[in-house]
């Protein structure tokens, strides 16, 4: 099971940190991905981190503003979002899978999502 938390309303330019807590079969050394979805748009890749935390991938739209990390002892991954823009508003999902990848189909388990709102 994956459970996201931390989503809330924030002003543009502000920061927010999302958490993804893994439990059960999802708490192994899997790659963790973050995706986001807005109404009328397909869910898009945000970033991902490898099982050991030594490799990360980011979408161009968030590179340099967002940082993904993980604490395996806590079975938790994080998405630190800085310099937030109105276009970052979305439901953010975390996912776990066997390989570090940008594609949704590479991930097996998904959380329910957490809402991020950004006011301009």
Instruction: List pLDDT tens digits, range 8-39.
Output: 999 999 999 999 999 988 888 899 999 999 98
Upper half-sphere CA count for residue 30 (Cβ side, 13 Å): 26
Instruction: Show the tokens assigned to 58.
Output: 């980011």
CA distance 120 to 70: 30
Q: How confident is the model at residue 58 (pLDDT cuts 50, 70, 90)?
A: very high
Structural contact between residues 77 and 94, judged by C-beta atoms closer than 8 angstroms: yes
Q: Which of 16-30, 53-67, 98-112 has the lowest mean pLDDT?
A: 16-30
- Is the pLDDT at 99 greater than 90? The verdict is yes
The SS3 of residue 101 is coil
Instruction: List pLDDT tens digits, range 66-97.
Output: 999 999 999 999 999 999 999 999 999 999 99
The predicted structure's pLDDT at residue 27 = 83
Cα 18 vs. chain centroid, distance in angstroms? 7
């Amino acid at each position: 099971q994956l459970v996201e938390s931390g989503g809330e309303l924030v002003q543009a330019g502000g920061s927010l940190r999302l958490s993804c807590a893994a439990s059960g079969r999802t708490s192994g050394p899997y790659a963790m991905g973050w995706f986001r979805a807005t109404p009328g748009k397909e869910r898009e890749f945000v970033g991902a981190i490898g099982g050991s935390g030594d490799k990360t991938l980011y979408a161009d739209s968030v590179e340099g503003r967002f940082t993904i990390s993980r604490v395996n002892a806590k079975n938790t991954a994080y998405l630190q979002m800085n310099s937030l823009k109105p276009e970052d508003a979305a439901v953010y999902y975390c996912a776990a899978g066997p390989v570090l990848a940008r594609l949704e189909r590479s991930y097996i388990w998904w959380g329910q999502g957490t809402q991020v709102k950004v006011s301009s």
